[in-house]
Amino acid sequence: MRLPGDRATGTLRAKFIFLSLPLLIMWVVECLNFVAGGALDQFGIVPRSPDGLTGIIFAPFLHASFTHLIANTLPYLTLGWIIVLRRTSDFVWASLIAALAAGIGTWLVAPADTVHVGASGVIFGYLGFLLSRGYFERSLPSILLSIAIGVIYGSLIWGVLPGQSGISWQGHLFGFIGGIAAARILTRNRLGASGQR
């Protein structure tokens, strides 16, 4: 899949706009949700509820509060930018795979009668993608980047474990796994296309 930001004519500005559009949607949705008194949260993931399946699509754009959204904004921009800077298509696929993995995993294993919202599953997907890309690609720049991400953001890994009340560790865990899967799939497809092993 080739996107405009992947071409030589793609600019840093175009990549940043591409990265920022989903975040802009999150902020617009949260403003609407605030005006609606949080009514949009009902469209989040409700584990093992057929109606809650739609939350797999909507949950990353919904947040419990502005504080929740602010907490997700910086890591989204930072980790997302590192991915999109290299290839826009990597950002798209890492986002989609992480969101699906986080959503489906949460729907399957999170406690019943709870509602899960937020982009943190996708953010943990970016973390998993960047940490594992060096292992799968086995190129020096990718390995060094994975090490740097581990040093700077490694402490986030604890977010995949149960602990804090009100935190969807299930989304974090499955999003992280989805990010690793995305790195594996994209690397394998790229090497296959170039005829390498």
**pLDDT tens-digit series, residues 58-73:** 999 999 999 999 999 9
Q: Which CATH superfamily is domain 4-194 in?
A: Rhomboid-like (1.20.1540.10)
Please tell me the pTM assigned to this model: 0.91
Buried b / exposed e over 155-172, threshold 16 CB at 10 Å, is ebeebbeeeeeeebbbbb
Q: Residues 97-145: pLDDT tens digits? A: 999 999 999 999 999 999 999 999 999 999 999 999 999 999 999 999 9
